[in-house]
Homo-oligomer: A and B are copies of this chain.
Amino acid sequence: MPLHLNTLDADFEQAFTALLGMKREDSPDVDAIVAGIISDVRQRGDAALIELTARFDRLSLTPETIRFSEAEIDALIAKVPPIEAEALELAAERIRTYHAAQMPQDARWMDDAGAELGWRWTPIAAAGLYVPGGLASYPSSLLMNAIPAKVAGVKRLAVTVPTPDGVANPLVLLAARLAGVDEVYRVGGAQAVAALAYGTATIPAVDKITGPGNAFVAAAKRRVFGKVGIDMIAGPSEILVIADGDNNPDWIALDLMSQAEHDASAQSILVTDSPAFAAAVETSVAKLLTTLARAEIAGESWRDFGAIIIVRDMAEAVQLSNRIAPEHLEICTADPEALLTQIDHAGAIFLGQWTPEAIGDYIGGPNHVLPTARSARFSSGLSVMDFIKRTTIARMTPEALRAIGPAAEVLAASESLQAHGLSVTARLKALNEE
């Protein structure tokens, strides 16, 4: 049974704070193992990759077969049923259009002092994308990571995807092709991250690594951070649904279960002002949990981390949502726009009854790589911004240096940085002697 809270309860604040602080993930400490793997790949390159892949993926590789050939990709892609290929193409197109709209502009201007200022955005030169193998090898995740990179202008985009026992997912390779991925390697785990960060004879090093992975992959990404950039380390998925009584309880139950079925550590929370609706949703969930293919996982998530919170009104719902800062937020009320403007922290918002969160996972356009575990308080989902960087620009005219240089001299002196000050003084002197 999920947690039942009511803001009218005397112990509500205590119980809600406990919900906020709930630890849903036990990361095994694999750091020492990962350190060994990274060091091995740095030292022995492809030889280490091949050995580790034989051990972990039961797959025998040579330097020539680490990378998928285009012919191999063609052959795999040919197996994808047309209906799936078309769905993936539509998803790729919609994700591309949405992310293209995110590209920021360069700027240059001259200010009153005569200083020309601005910035330029440039793409990361080479990015690596980790794609998990086996059951969690999601083509949708590949699109969500690879398309922003390519929209941003990343020239070289390499994918690593483990193929345990040599089994590759044709849809993942089709997604890679649709997204414009340049290289696909059949390696995984910490060894793939190490190869992307440090390079081997077969896999040239990249500048940034993104993509989800297990505890080994996460630990490896943390370790190589600094040498290369990394994206966030994502935790288990979560959804918060704010719904009034005028909703179909079966639909909301499905939305809650669509997070719960991801992972036993996922979290689904319903916030509503209608106790009757809450009861109806709970009944519907119970029924679903007798039929869903992944009922065991979804049931465990719902029992251990699910919650139903009854609030007095929607203002209270918004307050609680802002304290939770959910990864996914569905607002299913009569006027969702009115609540939207009051939401301070959320990864992605889905408005109204026709927008199940699953639309965002696949086809809506916005990214599905989003901040979990309350980190929407301080971070954003994946976007083109993760694959570009800004260089600031300044050019002083002699007039500008005359106007603002003396203040720089004063501040340099106040910080006891003499050469800083002199680099301005020397130039001002020349200007004054003109």
Contact = CB atoms under 8 A, between A and B. Distances in A.
Given A358-B423, A397-B354, A423-B357, A117 B364 contact: yes
Nearest to A399: B354
A426 B389 contact: no
A122 B115 CA distance: 30
A228 interface: yes
Interface in A121-146: 122, 124-125, 135, 138-140
A90 interface: yes
Interface string A390-433: 11111111101100111110111011111111111011001000
A84 B404 contact: no
Interface stretch (A7-15, A188-196, A256-264): A256-264
Given A336-B395, A404-B363, A358 B229 contact: no
Nearest to A366: B392
B419 A115 contact: no
Given A350-B394, A394-B348, A411-B362, A207 B377 contact: yes
A90 B404 contact: yes
A423 B104 contact: no
Nearest to A259: B419
A244 interface: no
A373 interface: yes
A334 interface: no
B294 A351 contact: no
A201 interface: no
Contacts of A340: 120, 393
Interface in A277-329: 288, 292-294, 298
A86 B135 CA distance: 63
B125 A396 contact: no
A357 B417 CA distance: 13
A162 interface: no
Contact of A378 (B207, B261, B418): B207
Nearest to A140: B411
Contacts of A336: 395
A32 interface: no
Contacts of A260: 419
Contacts of A250: 426
Contacts of A355: 394-396, 401
A87 B378 contact: no
Nearest to A405: B359
A391 B356 contact: no
Given A419-B260, A423-B356, A427-B353, A412 B377 contact: no
A293 B412 CA distance: 13
A426 B122 contact: no
Nearest to A361: B420
Contacts of A378: 124, 207-208, 228-229, 389
8 contacts: A87-B410, A102-B119, A120-B340, A125-B344, A258-B419, A262-B417, A354-B396, A363-B405
Given A94-B111, A350-B394, 20 more contacts: A83-B410, A84-B411, A86-B410, A87-B410, A94-B404, A115-B365, A117-B365, A122-B344, A254-B426, A298-B419, A348-B394, A350-B395, A355-B395, A358-B417, A358-B420, A358-B421, A359-B424, A362-B411, A364-B394, A366-B392
Interface of A: 83-84, 86-88, 90-91, 94, 97-98, 101-102, 104, 107, 109, 111, 113, 115-117, 119-120, 122, 124-125, 135, 138-140, 171, 207-208, 226, 228-229, 233, 248, 250-251, 254-255, 257-258, 260-262, 288, 292-294, 298, 336, 340, 343-367, 371, 373, 375-381, 383, 385, 389-398, 400-401, 404-408, 410-412, 414-424, 426-427, 430
